[in-house]
């Protein structure tokens, strides 16, 4: 059973996380220090260390918050109708995780930090794998290991496109997402035909 956090502790943790997100708008993660974070949060280092061991712990806590608010869906894109721009606009759960996460201006700079890209992609992969991997396996007939190769490719590609658009969902972004989804779906269908024949 998880221990309930008292209100004062929760307040302090939120002050630290908010200060971290403010700082990431001004400096890269690699240049951030516990001292600069404490100064921004107007807390002592000893108070910081009561709650976190290091900056990575704060980052992980923020990412945990992000994924807690991130919606999950069992929806499977299975035909071309599901790839229309209108469908993607009206069903946000079909959007790649990095876009759903980047939807909040509060987190956009965090996602754009070049020193954090691989780390954040790794966290997205861990968060999305249980939902997306079975879907890829159903659509392709591939083993878990082979489906995982495609899953990693899709997540890295999606993150790169989103980063190029600075996580802004404009019409061009939706058009590119539709194109990538069509590409993936056609590939899944081709693989499924191949696996069905063997």
- Chain segment 57-90, per-residue pLDDT in tens: 999 999 988 877 654 444 444 444 445 555 445 4
> pLDDT > 90: what percent of the chain?
41
Pair 84, 181 in one domain: yes
Q: Which domain holds residue 108?
A: 72-197
Domain final position from 67, 87, 110: 67
* Residues 131 and 175 both lie in one domain: yes
- 85 lies in the same domain as 38: no
Of 41, 67, 93, the domain-final residue: 67
106 within some domain: yes
Asked, for residue 2, whether it belongs to a domain, the answer is no
Please check whether residues 34 and 81 belong to one and the same domain: no
Same domain, 167 and 93: yes
pTM of the predicted model, to two decimals? 0.80
**Stretch 98-111: mean pLDDT:** 73
Per DSSP, the residues of the chain read -PPPPPHHHHHHHHHHHHHHHHHHTTS-GGG--HHHHHHHHT--HHHHHHH-SSHHHHHHHHHHHHHHHS--------SGGGGSHHHHHH-GGGS-HHHHHHTSHHHHHHHH-TTTHHHHHHHHHHHHHHHHHHHHHHHH---HHHHHHHHHHHHHHHHHHHHHTTT---HHHHHHHHHHHHHHHHHHHHHHHHHHH-
Same domain flag for 150 and 81: yes
């Amino acid at each position: 059973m998880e221990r309930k956090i008292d209100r004062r502790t929760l307040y302090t943790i939120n002050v630290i996380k908010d200060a971290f997100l403010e700082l990431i708008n001004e400096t890269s993660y690699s240049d951030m220090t516990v001292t600069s974070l404490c100064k921004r949060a107007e807390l002592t280092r000893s108070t910081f260390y009561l709650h976190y061991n290091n900056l990575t712990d704060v980052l992980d806590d923020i990412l945990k918050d992000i994924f807690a608010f991130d919606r999950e869906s069992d929806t499977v894109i299975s035909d071309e109708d599901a790839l229309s721009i209108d469908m993607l606009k009206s069903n946000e759960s079909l959007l790649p995780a990095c876009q759903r996460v980047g939807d909040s201006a509060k987190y956009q700079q965090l996602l754009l930090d070049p020193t954090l890209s691989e780390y954040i992609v790794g966290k997205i992969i861990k968060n999305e794998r249980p939902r997306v991997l079975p879907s890829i396996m159903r659509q392709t007939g591939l083993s878990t290991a082979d489906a995982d190769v495609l899953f990693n490719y899709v997540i890295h590609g999606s993150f790169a496109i989103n980063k190029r658009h600075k996580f802004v969902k404009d019409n061009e972004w939706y058009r590119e997402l539709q194109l990538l989804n069509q590409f993936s779906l056609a590939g899944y269908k081709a693989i499924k035909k191949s696996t069905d024949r063997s």
